[in-house]
Amino acid sequence: MNEFYLIIDTTIRGAGVGLVERSGVGVGELVATAFCYDSYSSGSIIPSLTKSVLDSGKVTIDSLKGILVAKGPGTFTGIKIGLSYVAGISGGGTIPLMGVSSLESYVRQQQTETPVSCFLPATKSHGFASIFLPDGSITSYIVECSEKLSLFTENRVQEVSTDLVAESSAVIVLPWERAKDCLEKIGVDTIEVKWPEMAMRFMNVLAREAIFAEESSFRGAMPEPFYLRKSAPEERLELVFKDKENG
């Protein structure tokens, strides 16, 4: 009997929902998709997008084998909306969950023998980059674009050399002029991919992740989000815990 997996991606703009049908690990297809192009109404429209793809496959939420959700990087609000929605429909872990980075999945699947860098804006000056090297390794960084391009590790303490991207081809997801200018200064040619084309590309790579995923990759726990900034309540909560730890 074939298995069905739901895909939710709200990381770059609006919302995308997909349905994957597979008959075994590595064997399957993306059978239905639905998108909302308005980032301001994505939260309210995800249920109808989900209903649309489930109706196309003639399946119910309860019959899903698992849910794959894009956990970031991307827009702060979008990631929170997607994860909150998945938390609600998964029945508190009844339906297994798998968190995946759309950005990393996309750059990993570029067929090339040279490094590839994929950049995603979060604000005018800050965003994210995933860098794929020919040896198969992939690493994600926080990006700052001012007079120069700076790459930081997640804790934003250590600056990483831009030599990592100097010999790469670069894809910019959604318009990001500052990143484009900074990359041109170090001699990196860029390709810009806009919404909705990028949304469909991300959906296809997430479908591939679902098709090839082992059952052990899906768990009941919520995936850890990856976004540029925390909400004010989260920051206050962190301070409370730090105060308790410090006595």
Domain 104-193: give its CATH architecture. 2-Layer Sandwich (3.30)
pLDDT at 37: 86
Among left, alpha and beta (phi > 0; psi -120 to 50; other), residue 239 is alpha
pLDDT at 112: 77
pLDDT at 29: 98
Q: How far apart are CA 172 and CA 169, in angstroms?
A: 10
Give me the phi and psi of 44, to 5 degrees please. -80, -20
CATH number of 3-101+196-230: 3.30.420.40
- Per residue of the chain (247 residues), give pLDDT as tens: 899 999 999 998 889 999 999 999 999 999 999 999 887 778 899 999 999 999 999 999 999 999 999 999 988 888 999 999 999 999 877 999 999 999 999 998 886 788 999 999 988 899 999 999 888 889 899 999 988 999 998 666 678 889 989 989 999 999 999 999 999 999 999 999 998 899 999 999 999 999 999 999 998 788 888 877 655 565 666 666 566 556 5
Residues of the chain with CATH 3.30.420.40: 3-101+196-230
Of 58, 84, 52, which is closest to residue 69 (Cα–Cα)? Answer: 84
The CA-atom distances, in angstroms, between 67 and each of 45, 47, 87, 98, 156 are: 18, 14, 10, 6, 31
